[in-house]
Amino acid sequence: MSAPQQSAAPAVPDTAVHDTADPADSAPADSASGAASPSAPDATYDVIVLGGGPVGENAAQYAIESTDLTAAIVEEALLGGECSYYACMPSKALLRPIDVARTTETLPGVATAALEPEALLARRDDWVSHYDDAGQARWAEGAGLALERGHGRLVGERRVEVLAADGTRRVLAARHAVILATGSEAAIPGPLQGIEPWTSRDATGVVEVPERLVIIGGGVVACEAATWMRALGAAVTMLVRGDSLLSSAEPFAGEAVAAGLEEIGVRIVHGARVAQAHRPQAQPTGLGRIHGGPVSLRCEDGTEHEADEVLVATGRRPRLGDVGLESIGLGADEVLAGRLPAWLHAVGDASGEAPLTHWGKHRARVVGARIAAAATGAQPPFEVPDAPVPQVVFTDPQVASIGETEAQARERGAAVVTAQVPFGAAAGTALLRDAVPGRAQIVVDRATGLLLGAAFVGPEAAELVHAATVAITGRVPVAVLRHAVASYPTASELWLRLLEELPRELRAPVGPPVSAPGR
C-alpha cells in the first residue's frame, strides 16, 4: 500500500534529475567517487531536500511543481519519515478501532464491541506498509523527484554529501536551494539513558505488550499511547512532572483527558520526577519488543515504581546534530532562529516550529512555492502571514484546539471574552453517545469580535475544529459566524450554542451588515 497520508502524484514533468547542465558543476557523474570535492559534484539538482518525511516530500514536490526544475530527496531510512511508519499513521490506526469500541460501551442499541488485539496490530502493520517504502518511492518517481538513498550532510554552500549504506559517497550540488527537513528525535532524560527504554517508536510499533508499563510524560504522545497500551491490556502508570496533563492546552482539556484515562484504569501520578532508573538486563531486542528485564524507577520524592517496560514521552528535539551545519559556519541555534543564508531553508520538525505533520507540510508548501517562484522568476505566491496551527489529541475524549488559549491571550494583554458550553449542549453532540464528556470554548477579541482561539473536548471533537481554523484564518467576526448555519442535528451546531453564550453586542450588533475586515 502506498503511504495513505500522501496525496496522489501531481502532474509535473518527468525531469532529467541527474542534469549537470550548469557548466560550473558539470563534472561527469560518478556514482561512487569516494571523495567529497566542492568543485566536482556527482549530480546537480535545482533543489536538494535533506530528509524524506512528509514535510521533505511536500517541499520537494512544491519546489518543482509545474516547472522544469529538478529536485532530489536525500533519505537515510524509510521514505515517508517518522509520520508514516512510527508516529501519526500507526498511532491513529491503533486508536480508531479503540475509539469505536469505546463508543459502543456508551451507546444502547448496539452490542458492546470487544477489541481483537491481533487484528488491531495487523491493521497497524498494514497502515505502516509493513515498514516498506516502495509505495512512497513510486510516488516520488511519479512526481519527478530523484531519490538519493543515504545520510546527507552539508559540505559547503549548496553542496551535500550523501553517505550510502554500502559506504559509497556522492556529492550533490544544488543550483538554487537546499532544504533541511530532517525531522526530530525523542529526547531521553539522563537518568533513563542506560536502560533501553521504549520511545514512541516502540509504542506505535508494539509487538509485545508489557504487563506493567510506566509512561513518563503527560503530553500528547504520552496520553495517546496510554490509551492504546491500556486497551491492549497493559497496566499503565503515567508519571507526570507537573500537576496536569496536556499542560499547553486549556486546563479543562487536561482534566477531561485525565478523567477519561482514569476511567479505563490508567493510574496518573502527578509531581513525579524520575531521578534514578535501574534495569539489570537492558537489551535492544527490537522495535516494540520488551527491552529486557524489569525496571525500577525512583522519583525525586523517594517514591518507587516497578515496571516491565518504560515508555519515555518527554518531548522531541529537532534532528540537526549531524547535518553538516558547521561546514557553512552555522549551528542549530541559527536554524531554529531562522538566521539562514538565502539558499538554505528549514521546514518541519527540524525547523523548531510546531512539530505536527500538517503544519510542517503547510510550511513546506509555502517554502517550496517560494523557491520555485524565485528560481523561475515568477511572481512570489500569495501567503497568509499568521495562519494558526490546529492540533488534535486522539484520546477519549478527543481534544481539538487552535489559536490562543484564554490564558495565552490574556497574558499578551488582549481584552478577551470567552464562551463555554458542555460538549453535549447541541442535539448533534448529545446524540453521539448517551454520556457525553467534555466541553467546548471559544476565545474572542472583545474589540474586534474576531476569534482568537477555540478548544473542543469531547467525542469526535477532531472534526469540529476546522470551522475555527477557517474563521481565524479568514478573520471572520463572530457576528458573521452566527449566520453560518449548521445543519440540525449535527455536532457543528455546537458553534451556535457557543456563539449564543457571547455578550449580545458581540454576536448580534445593531447597524449595517458586518463585513470581515481585510488583512
Q: Which residues bind ligand FAD (CB under 6 A)?
A: 50-56, 74-77, 81-83, 87-88, 91-92, 151-152, 181-184, 200, 204, 221, 319, 323, 348-350, 355-358, 360
Minimal distance in Å, beta carbon 88 to ligand FAD?
4
Alpha carbon distance 152, 327 (integer Å): 13
C-alpha cell at 5: 497520508
Q: Tell me whether residue 83 or residue 155 sits nearer to ligand FAD (CB atom).
A: 83
Classify each residue of 126-147 as buried b or exposed e, where b means 16 or more C-beta atoms within 10 Å of its C-beta.
ebbbeeebebbbebbeebbbbb
Minimal distance in Å, beta carbon 500 to ligand FAD?
32
Alpha carbon distance 492, 242 (integer Å): 34
Q: Which of 184, 495, 493 is nearest to 360 (CA)?
A: 184
Minimal distance in Å, beta carbon 410 to ligand FAD?
27
φ and ψ at residue 70, rounded to 5 degrees: -115, 150
Q: Tell me whether residue 257 or residue 421 sits nearer to ligand FAD (CB atom).
A: 257
Give yes or no for a contact between 388 and 400, defined as CB atoms under 8 angstroms apart: no
Minimal distance in Å, beta carbon 448 to ligand FAD?
29
Q: Tell me whether residue 6 or residue 44 sits nearer to ligand FAD (CB atom).
A: 6
Minimal distance in Å, beta carbon 349 to ligand FAD?
4
Q: Tell me whether residue 241 or residue 358 sits nearer to ligand FAD (CB atom).
A: 358
Q: Tell me whether residue 81 or residue 458 sits nearer to ligand FAD (CB atom).
A: 81
Q: Tell me whether residue 50 or residue 476 sits nearer to ligand FAD (CB atom).
A: 50
Q: Give, to the nearest 10 degrees, the angle between helix 134-142 and helix 54-64.
A: 10
Minimal distance in Å, beta carbon 423 to ligand FAD?
21
Minimal distance in Å, beta carbon 132 to ligand FAD?
14
Q: Tell me whether residue 183 or residue 459 sits nearer to ligand FAD (CB atom).
A: 183
DSSP 54-97: HHHHHHHHHHHTTSS--EEEEESS-TTHHHHHTSHHHHHHHHHH
Minimal distance in Å, beta carbon 93 to ligand FAD?
11
Write the CA distances from 156 to 153, 323, 443, integer angstroms: 9, 11, 48
Sheet holding 235-240, edge to edge: 267-270, 235-240, 212-216, 309-312
Alpha carbon distance 369, 36 (integer Å): 30
Give yes or no for a contact between 93 and 127, defined as CB atoms under 8 angstroms apart: yes
Alpha carbon distance 170, 148 (integer Å): 9
Q: Tell me whether residue 215 or residue 419 sits nearer to ligand FAD (CB atom).
A: 215
